[in-house]
Chains A and B, each alone.
Chain A
Amino acid sequence: MNKKQLQAGSVISGFLFVIAIAGLLLWFFSSHNIQAQADAPVQPIEFPHHVHSAAIEDDGNAINCLYCHSYARRSPVAGIPTLAKCMGCHRYVAADKERIQQLSRYWQQGKPIPWKKVHDLPDFVYFTHERHIQRFVFQQGQPVQQVCGYCHGDIKTMTVAERRRPLTMGWCLKCHEQFQDNPPGAPLPAEDWQINATDSSLTAAMPVDALHADTLRKAPGDCWECHK
């Protein structure tokens, strides 16, 4: 083997090595549910989710997520609660706190609060809250915090909301594909998309229901379903 052959061999083996690394990384990303976590953005008011949604015994107020995010069950977007709704309680509750006074100033000026989006899907993705909430909460009776937590993480432990799930296409599909190999009645694999709900009985894996087995386990295998 002369020097030139040696050099060519080194470059080729270099390329092969890079491809091998790429393969490894691809496998790693596709088979592991990476808990992508972004820093919480700076919000105009430092909204304490834990104060609102944590259990009473944990010094919270155990408010149902859907009380404030009331559009989630009726619309593709969950929406931000209206200022009128915030003020409904905070005219009286904790009115002396600095954050509530900030809120009152917006209300008095009649200006909306410019919240920063935390869970911002790309524009080419169609995701509907309504379908998920209707299915899990209203048809199956799963606890609201658990259902919201699948995608938003354990909000009751956060102050300003932050993204705890990757919300990538592979991550969405990973959840939907779980139903494909499980017959009705079989327990769903309790993976890390479940959260530690307030009530410990709620962390038990939900069984696959007949409806899922028949319809949802095929969903969504069609690009058009989400990329309209």
Chain B
Amino acid sequence: MSFDPVDRRSFLKLMGVSGSGLFLTLHGCGNASLEDGKETVMSYIDPEDFVIPGEEVWYATTCRQCPAGCGLHARIREGRVRKLEGNPASPINHGRLCSMGQAGLQLHYHPDRLSQPMARLDGKLQPISWGEAKTRLHNMVSAATKKPQSFALLSGEVGGHLEQLVDALVQSIGGPPRYVYETLSQATWRTATQTTLGVTAPTLELSKAQLVLSFGADFLGPWQSPVHFAAEYGQFRAAPRGSLIQIEPKMSLSGANADWWLAIRPQTEAWLALGLANILAADSQHALPEPVMKSLAAYDVDSVSKITDVPVESIQRLAQALRSRTPSLVLAGGAAEGQEDGAQMIMACWLLNYLLGNIGQTIHAGGRSPYENLHTQRGSTAALQSFSKHMTDVDTLFVFHSNPIYSAPDFVELDRGFAGISNKVVFAHTLDETAELADLVIPLRSSLEEWGSQLPGYSPDQGLLQLQQPVVQALHAEQPASGDLFLQLLAQLDEHYKQWPDFYAYMRDDLSRLRQHARPADQLNPWKLPAVMEPPTYKPVMPEQAFSANQLDEAFWEHTLAAGLLHLPTESQPLKINLQAANLKQPDADPAYPFTLIPCPRLGLYDGRHADLPWLQELPDQITTIVWDSWAEMHPETAARLKVKTGDIVEIKSSHGSLRVKVFEFEGIHPEAVAVPMGQGHSSGRYAAGVGVNPLKILAPIFERDSGELALYATRVQIRPTGEQGAVVKLAGSDSQHKRRLVRTVPARLFNNNEG
């Protein structure tokens, strides 16, 4: 080690430089973040009195992330929406909100949200002005009235007052009725329930049941109303604790929470349900009609066991559990419903409930809806099928709140049909797969910027109407709300619609008319608002007589908006029981396609509509904990037989297409099933494109016999190893305790004995 000589001069220089550096550093440290004059602080121009910068304001509105229609409270600060929470006053979600609802913020602030309309010019989508877009729309509508059959409107579920306008437009033009397409439709459930019970949406009280037997209904997942049933489930599990038995070919989130999870051979759930009915009918107090009784004889326990791959002892045990714990509740959905015999499965579910005496105990008719003029046409996959048949006649197509090019199976050949339509108008938030093929793209406002109303997909109370209000000003001020746009288009065709200046006036006019049906108590002291929401100064304290009609109307409107919902009394209606003889067709075994494909939906990406929201991509799958990917869930026995392991890439091939995906070995699946989650495999979207595969594409054209719905879970596939490997990215390190006994389990019987 050697040093260069340091003279006195250099030493002092060194000290000087170090000292100054130190001084500057220390001086800088204290003020490092104080940057005077760098940031801008905007003054308000003329705000409402209650707007205080730095203080939050909460508005009640409705979630539109799925058809469940949960009540929302949106937190606003400085004119920006910051957080969404559940509305405690809403009987749908009781103040809770699921992950999809929370991610509504990301849709609102999505970086690729369209701000300007686009038109196809020289074969390419290019921005145009709103004036031009509106002129084009008006011209298309005018032209369509001259040739009504060449016009079609395809949408997702819309609901409420907006649906009135959309349907009125279709009627004014004179075209075929609107095609309402939803991939995760409950159409088979509704058809079969209507036939059997006389209502489409009976009230289901999980909380009152001692035992819930669910055939594939993932009520903690996307089935019907996730947040509502999660709350019901919480009460059901509170002491005295109810028991949950879940029967399905692939474990769902509800299945993972069950006390007893039973893997059943795919497409045979109805057999087991009828087998159980056959056992229970023998000693049930509830008599069955002769033809039904006779038809059950075919479902003896031995043949049912053989077909379903459920041991005889398990079937007997199930029957015993159902007999001993009443009231119970039998549900069906998901993979059990999406079959050729789906309707019979739902009917078998009601048959079991009838035999167990659950009708009137845990199942009620629900009141008659007081909103006669408001009706939500529920979506179906049959609508897509009928649209595809008429596609060749269509010249002008409006696609509203739907992305059929992504979700339609390949056999529908929708893209080819699309190419033949000369005017394709797509209303969309971002440039999704369907919008990319459009001739005119009309940007949609986010649901947090629009007025609206919603009859929830499932409601324990038919008197409920959820209200949607703009909680912030539109991010893109010039962008019209879809309600305003449809009203303008309608006014062009029908003078009647000229009386309302905008959609807000239209909606308020209609709702004010309903005020007379509301109970006076509801009008004056309407909803049980949480303390934070209660505006004491706005609360009318005078008796009703003291108000003029206008004042009462104003008070009613203010309270309705503050509550975020309207609640009207309902008339009760009886449940009819109309049981029908069962006649199941045994599924064909095709040795060329030995597996059944289960394109399983999950909370988060839902049917794929949320794939472009990174929060929901990042959210691990509830069962496998995999993120940002697709995978093929298969039983370890199946994997061993195919000589593949987790991470290996296989080709899954149906008669209508194939996809390549990584294997994930999992014991919660029947060995004859392979599950690929729904929602991935997008070709557009900043966060969605290029992630995973879309299992909907390879579905075979198999339809439910009664409702005409696409049998989502009935496609047979073959699996071929490709020899390639990939990595599965998941949150959980290992599914096994590696014999370390970190979590010890004992049978419930032993546990109860130990607890004395």
Binding site for B on A (CB under 8 A): 3-4, 7-8, 10-11, 14, 17-18, 21-22, 25-26, 29, 36, 38-42, 71, 74-77, 79-84, 107, 110-123, 162-163, 166-170
Contacts and interface: CB of A to CB of B under 8 A. Distances in A.
Contact of B30 (A115, A163, A168): A168
B28 to A, nearest CB: 11
Which DSSP category, helix, strand, loop or mixed, fits chain A's interface? loop
A76 B55 CA distance: 8
Nearest to B19: A21
A6 B33 CA distance: 43
A36 B26 CA distance: 14
B31 interface: yes
Interface of B: 2-6, 11, 14-15, 18-19, 22-23, 26-27, 30-47, 52-55
A80 to B, nearest CB: 4
Contacts of B39: 116-117, 120
A112 B22 CA distance: 43
A94 to B, nearest CB: 19
B18 A112 contact: no
B3 A4 contact: yes
Contact of A115 (B15, B42, B46, B53): B42
A112 B38 contact: no
A21 B35 CA distance: 28
B30 A29 contact: yes
Contact of B41 (A22, A39, A74, A80): A80
A71 B45 contact: no
A84 B34 contact: no
12 contacts: A26-B26, A38-B34, A38-B36, A80-B43, A82-B44, A82-B46, A115-B40, A115-B43, A119-B36, A120-B33, A163-B34, A169-B30
Contacts of A40: 37
A107 B44 CA distance: 11
B30 A117 contact: no
A14 B37 CA distance: 40
A168 B30 CA distance: 6
Most buried by A among B18, B41, B42: B41
A29 to B, nearest CB: 6
A27 B55 CA distance: 40
Contact of B3 (A8, A80, A115, A163): A8
A162 B43 CA distance: 18
Given A14-B11, A80-B41, A116-B41, A21 B36 contact: no
B26 to A, nearest CB: 5
Contact of B5 (A7, A74, A77, A166): A7
B43 A122 contact: no
Contacts of B6: 7, 10-11
A151 to B, nearest CB: 13
B20 to A, nearest CB: 10
Contacts of A162: 36
Please provide the 4 A-B residue pairs with the shortest distance between their CB atoms, ordered closest to farther: A41-B37, A122-B33, A75-B54, A84-B46
B36 A120 contact: yes
Contacts of B30: 29, 36, 166, 168-170
A115 to B, nearest CB: 5
A152 to B, nearest CB: 12
A29 B37 contact: no
Contact of A71 (B15, B22, B52): B52
B22 A18 contact: yes
B537 to A, nearest CB: 15
A84 B47 CA distance: 8
A192 B37 CA distance: 25
A81 B26 contact: no
A18 B18 contact: yes
A82 B37 CA distance: 20
Contacts of B27: 29
A114 B35 contact: no
A62 to B, nearest CB: 23
A122 B54 contact: no
B5 A3 contact: yes
B41 A11 contact: no
A8 B41 CA distance: 56
Given A22-B22, A75-B52, A122-B34, 11 more contacts: A8-B3, A21-B19, A25-B22, A25-B23, A29-B30, A79-B52, A83-B43, A113-B43, A115-B42, A121-B34, A122-B32
B42 to A, nearest CB: 4
Contacts of A18: 15, 18-19, 22
Nearest to B36: A38
A76 B54 contact: yes
A127 to B, nearest CB: 11
B33 A82 contact: no
Contacts of A26: 26
A74 B33 CA distance: 26
Contacts of B45: 82-84, 107, 110-112
B642 to A, nearest CB: 54
A118 B44 contact: no
Contacts of B18: 14, 18, 21
B196 to A, nearest CB: 56
B40 A117 contact: yes
B518 to A, nearest CB: 35
A76 B18 CA distance: 41
A143 to B, nearest CB: 24
Most buried by A among B32, B40, B43: B43
Given A77-B54, A79-B54, A116 B40 contact: yes
Contact of B14 (A14, A83, A114, A120): A14
Contacts of B47: 82, 84
Contacts of A111: 45
Given A80-B41, A115-B41, A168-B30, A17 B15 contact: yes
Nearest to B42: A112
A121 B14 CA distance: 35
A203 to B, nearest CB: 27
A107 B43 CA distance: 11
B630 to A, nearest CB: 38
Nearest to A167: B34
B45 to A, nearest CB: 5
Contact of B53 (A7, A75, A110): A75
A8 B54 CA distance: 59
A120 B41 CA distance: 10
B58 to A, nearest CB: 16
A71 B26 contact: no
Contacts of B31: 36, 166, 168
Contacts of A120: 33-36, 38-39
Contacts of A22: 22, 26
B43 A112 contact: yes
Contacts of A79: 43, 52-54
A171 B14 CA distance: 32
A162 B34 CA distance: 12
Contacts of A39: 36-37
Contacts of A71: 52-54
A74 B54 CA distance: 9
Contact of A14 (B15, B23, B41, B44): B15
A83 B5 contact: no
A169 B32 CA distance: 12
Contacts of A4: 2-3
Contacts of B54: 71, 75-77, 79
Contacts of A123: 33
